[in-house]
């Protein structure tokens, strides 16, 4: 081989050796590069993961904060809506109150004007009011006499009417005052029984009935014998001489036995019956007095007096007082003849219905109607 070829061969061998030597270095460098790249990738992945986790946490916190803010905003909106509704309601109420205040002020002004005119009318027509008061008092007097038999109340009403006429100072009512004086004098002349006092006294007597003593059997026998003997004496006084001779002959031929029924209130049952009967009569007298029933009152008093005379011990002071009370009641007059009290009222009615009063009353009614219609016209 030539030298050139050897040189070429040697160069090739050297190149191959160099290649063998350089190849591991390059492979080592490549492995280090790969590792570094892998490390960088892992580092970037970790950094990105950390950044992603941080961003996720941050986003989570922001979402929570956003939800809170949204809730706060919604509550604020609701409060704002409520406030606006309240403002609107208050505005309506204030408008209503203002309208009501204006209407009320109008009504107050109308009322003041009506009251002023009414005062003028009243001051101008005192006579009409006085006549109405006198009419009322005369009606009351008539009712007290007709319904309740109250003479005192009727006199008080008539005196009130007379005083009102006196204060009025109207000379045209002099005849009415004259009639009132006659009525008052006639009522004063009447003695009225104290019905309430009679009722209370009878109630008290009824309360003490169980304590009143009855007559004994001996007293009952004695009274019945004396009564029968008195009857026989009266019969003998009425007989003629011939009748007495005939009666003597009959007695010689036939002896007559006189039977006398003696009934004494000795048993408790009989006394209870008599006491109940007396209580019934006293209660009937009390009710008759309250009804002003003269006939029934006298009947009940008479029956009660008879029961006391027949069955109660008249020597007892309580029985004597009760008999005296019943005797006084038998002389009372519960319903006396009461006068008629309509003359003065009739005379007053003629004065009230006079033409002058009619014109005044028509003027008054017209003014009142005009004042009542004014608010309606203003409202229209």
Domain extents in the chain = 126-191+338-379, 194-223+266-335
Distance CA 86, CA 80 (A): 10
Please name which of 351, 329, 212, 228 lies closest in space to residue 272, comparing C-alpha atoms: 212
Instruction: Determine contact, residues 134/164, Cβ cutoff 8 Å.
Output: yes
pLDDT, averaged across the chain: 78
pLDDT at position 13:
67
pLDDT > 60? residue 251: no
Instruction: Determine contact, residues 164/176, Cβ cutoff 8 Å.
Output: no
All residues at 6 or more sequence positions from 300 whose CB lies less than 8 Å from its CB, including other chains: 281, 282, 284, 285, 288
pLDDT > 90? residue 359: no
Instruction: Determine contact, residues 205/282, Cβ cutoff 8 Å.
Output: yes
pLDDT > 50? residue 358: no
pLDDT > 70? residue 311: yes
Buried-exposed string 44-57: b where 16+ CB fall within 10 A, e elsewhere? eeeeeeeeeeeeee
Which residue has tokens 């950390």?
50
Output phi, psi for 193, to 5 deg.
-70, 145
pLDDT > 80? residue 239: no
The pTM of the full predicted model, rounded to 2 decimals, is 0.43
pLDDT at position 292:
83
Q: Mean pLDDT, to the nearest integer, of 160-172?
A: 89
pLDDT at position 22:
47
Q: Residue 254: pLDDT band by 50, 70, 90 thresholds?
A: very low
187: tokens are 């009522």
- Give the containing element (helix H, strand E) for 186: helix 174-188
Between helices 294-311 and 268-290, what is the axis angle to 10°? 160
- Which one is predicted more confidently, 209 or 23? 209
H helix runs in 125-168, sequence order: 126-146, 151-168
Please state, for a pLDDT cut of 70, what percent of the chain lies above it: 71
What SS3 class is residue 291?
A: coil
Output phi, psi for 149, to 5 deg.
55, 35
Q: Residue 324: pLDDT band by 50, 70, 90 thresholds?
A: very high
Least confident of 4-8, 72-76, 166-170: 4-8
All residues at 6 or more sequence positions from 337 whose CB lies less than 8 Å from its CB, including other chains: none
Tens of pLDDT, residue by residue over 172-213, are 899 999 999 999 998 888 877 788 888 899 999 999 999 988
Tens of pLDDT, residue by residue over 100-126, are 888 888 889 888 888 877 776 665 567
Distance CA 360, CA 362 (A): 5
């Amino acid at each position: 081989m030539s030298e050139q070829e050897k040189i070429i061969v040697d160069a090739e061998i050297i190149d191959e050796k160099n290649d063998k030597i350089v190849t591991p270095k390059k492979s080592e460098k490549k492995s280090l590069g790969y590792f570094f790249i892998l490390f960088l990738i892992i580092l970037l992945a970790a950094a990105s993961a950390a950044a992603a986790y941080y961003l996720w946490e941050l986003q989570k916190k922001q979402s929570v904060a956003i939800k809170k803010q949204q809730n706060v905003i919604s509550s604020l909106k609701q409060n704002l809506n409520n406030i606006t509704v309240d403002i609107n309601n208050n505005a309506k109420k204030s408008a209503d109150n203002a309208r009501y205040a204006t209407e009320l002020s109008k009504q107050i002004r109308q009322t003041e004007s009506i009251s002023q005119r009414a005062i003028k009318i009243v001051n101008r027509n005192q006579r009409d009011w006085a006549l109405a008061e006198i009419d009322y008092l005369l009606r009351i007097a008539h009712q007290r006499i007709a319904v309740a038999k109250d003479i005192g109340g009727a006199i008080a009403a008539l005196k009130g009417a007379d005083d009102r006429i006196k204060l009025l100072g109207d000379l045209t009512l002099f005849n009415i005052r004259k009639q009132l004086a006659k009525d008052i004098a006639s009522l004063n002349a009447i003695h009225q029984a104290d019905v309430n006092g009679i009722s209370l006294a009878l109630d008290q007597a009824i309360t003490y009935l169980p304590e009143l003593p009855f007559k004994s059997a001996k007293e009952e026998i004695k009274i019945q014998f004396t009564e029968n003997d008195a009857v026989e004496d009266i019969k003998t006084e009425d007989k003629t001489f011939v009748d007495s001779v005939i009666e003597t002959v009959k007695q010689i031929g036939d002896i007559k036995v006189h039977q006398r029924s003696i009934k004494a209130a000795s048993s408790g049952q009989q006394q209870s019956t008599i006491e109940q009967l007396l209580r019934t009569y006293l209660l009937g007298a009390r009710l008759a007095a309250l009804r002003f029933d003269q006939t029934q009152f006298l009947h009940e008093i008479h029956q009660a007096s008879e029961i006391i005379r027949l069955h109660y011990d008249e020597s007892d002071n309580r029985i004597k007082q009760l008999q005296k009370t019943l005797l006084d009641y038998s002389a009372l007059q519960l319903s006396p003849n009461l006068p008629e009290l309509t003359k003065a009222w009739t005379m007053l009615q003629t004065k009230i219905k006079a033409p002058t009063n009619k014109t005044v009353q028509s003027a008054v009614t017209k003014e009142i109607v005009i004042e009542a219609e004014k608010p309606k016209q203003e409202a229209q």
